[in-house]
Structure 1
Amino acid sequence: MAVIDVNRGAKRAREARAQLGLDPAAPLPCLLGVVEERAERPVVVAPLAPGLAGACVPFGTGRLLFVNGVQAPVRQRFTLAHELGHAWCGHDGTVAVDTFATLGGGTTTPYEVQANAFAAEFLIPKAALAELADGAPSLDEITLVAAHFGTSALMTLFRYRQLRLISSDACDGLKARIDEGEHFAAAERLGLAAFDDRLATLDPLPYLSPVLRGTRLAAVLEGAAPAEPALAKAISRLLGG
């Protein structure tokens, strides 16, 4: 992973928070609202083809962001932040759709590294986590921070590691416990409520941003109209058609 691409993505995320009038360190309660209303990017949340997390595809003069709506809300939040990162960083529309492996860090492609770094910084700003951290975190602390920022426990742990706030050995130990699902018991014991993002309440799917309703795209997604060739190909791949 090229450090220059990580730094570039994180820098763009800080710029985005500033330009969108967001607190530089506060959690984002409803990411969907931020993307639709402040960033003015249209979003489609739908059951995507197996293995796909989302995509940022050309749409008119801008970009259309897709999110796999059958995933857990915390995963949808990271996907949406990642796709916003592609749009905000000005990546061209030829980037591939994003798989779960891509968003999990299993890539060295510069655009994907930048988008992952953008999402991590946009959701859990370095300034905020550095202020919260006080020595190596426990599983309870990881769970609390994840609930505070609306991220998964695993993504939160990796954020600690990315910022060198935890050693590799300690990170590996906590990852094993998270893989076993111990963070769920910790969240219940700590009385933590699910993060209140509108992504968790969308029903039925597909969901289209208000700006898209009544448009030709809406008709395309409903199977009532054909799409332009490039968009049709992207939609077919995303929806598994």
Structure 2
Amino acid sequence: MEGVFGIDVRIMRFPHGYEGLSWADDNSRLMVVGTSDIPARQRFTIAHELGQLLAGDDQGLHLDPDLTDTTHKKKPSEIKANAFATRFLLPQELLEEKARHITWSDHSFASLACDLWVSPVNLAWRLYNLGLIDRQQCDAFVRMRSLDAAVLTNRLDSYWEWLTTAGQPRLPVPLLRTSFQAYRDGKTTLRPLANLLGTQTTTVRAALDGTREESPISS
């Protein structure tokens, strides 16, 4: 998101009731997504926010509470963003190519879900809507969870790593870099950088001023 689209990405712990928000103006674009214990859902939220920002329907702040909320997801902008996220994470051409070489079974379906880092339920419905599996197969596959898929394909290590990462806050790297450079160029004080890091200016100044670091391996 940051490298390709130039969008700052912040992961943080939200109060209950919000999954993501996006901000756009003439100078910057930002998405803020909540930490999650459902990694595939967090990844869909990131794709959803990307859709909101790329659509450019309006500028300013856009809030997304629970993306599965019935009223919220019926809004035209939400329908468009959800459609974008589905196609972004599960491109039709890719799935059609994969399907040509797959004999569908619990294992092959689980393997594809793990390869694409998506929830089995989203993958099942996408395959069904594209006519790549029938309704009976869809009904069977939607009962599978991401954890089930990881166990079935012997990828528990990757799943636990994904789960751990999804639960951790993350600072927007380009914004950190820009704030630091602005301070070095004398265009701002340390306050914006310290606020971004969530710490005191004295702590940041100590790091920047070269506080002595003792080596534990020195003789």
Aligned residues: 185
Alignment of 1:76-225 (within 5 A): 76-92=42-58, 93=60, 95-101=62-68, 107-134=73-100, 137-175=104-142, 177-178=143-144, 181=145, 184-192=147-155, 193-194=157-158, 201=165, 205=169, 207-213=170-176, 214=179, 216=192, 219=195, 222=198
The structural deviation recorded for 1:84 is 0.7
Q: Please state how far the C-alpha of 1:80 moved relative to its aligned partner.
A: 0.9
Q: Structure 1 regions of 5+ residues with no counterpart?
A: 1-34, 225-241
1:41 aligns with 2:7: yes
Seen in structure 2, the aligned counterparts of structure 1 residues 115 and 223 have a Cα distance that, compared at 3 Å, is farther
- Conserved? CA contact 2:72–2:78, under 8 Å: no
Structure 2 unaligned runs (5+)?
A: 181-191, 201-219
RMSD between superposed Cα atoms in Å: 3.5
Deviation string for 1:110-134 (max 9, x for gaps)? 2111111211111121101011115
Structure 1 partner of 2:16:
50
Contact 1:105 1:113 in 2 (8 A): no
Provide, for residues 146-176 of structure 1, a one-character-per-residue CA deviation record: whole Å limited to 9, x for no partner.
111111112211221232322334322322x
Shift in alpha-carbon separation, 1:203–1:94, aligned structure 2, 3 A: closer
- Secondary structure of the 2:114 match is helix
Q: Assess, with a 3 A threshold, how the Cα gap between structure 1 residues 222 and 75 changes in structure 2: closer, same or farther.
A: same
Aligned-pair identity (%): 29
Shift of 1:98: 3.7
Q: Aligned partners of 1:50, 1:139: CA distance in 2, in Å?
A: 34
Quote how far apart the aligned CAs of 1:87 are.
0.7
Between 137-146 and 104-113, report the one with greater CA deviation.
Answer: 104-113
Partner of 1:26: none
Q: Which amino acid aligns with 1:139?
A: D
TM-score by length of 2: 0.69
Q: Which has the higher contact order (CA 8 A, sep 6+)?
A: 1
SS in 2 for 1:140: helix
Partner letter of residue 54 of structure 2? W
Range moving further from structure 2, 183-192 or 151-160: 183-192
Q: Which residue of 1 aligns with 2:207?
A: none
Task: State the one-letter code of the partner of 1:208.
Answer: L
Aligned counterparts of 2:95 and 2:172: Cα–Cα separation in 1: 31
- Deviation by residue 1:157-211 (Cα, 9 ceiling, x = unmatched): 1221232322334322322x32xx4x63443232235269989537852x22122
Match of 1:71 in 2: 37
Q: State the AA in 2 paired with 1:188.
A: V
Larger Rg: 2
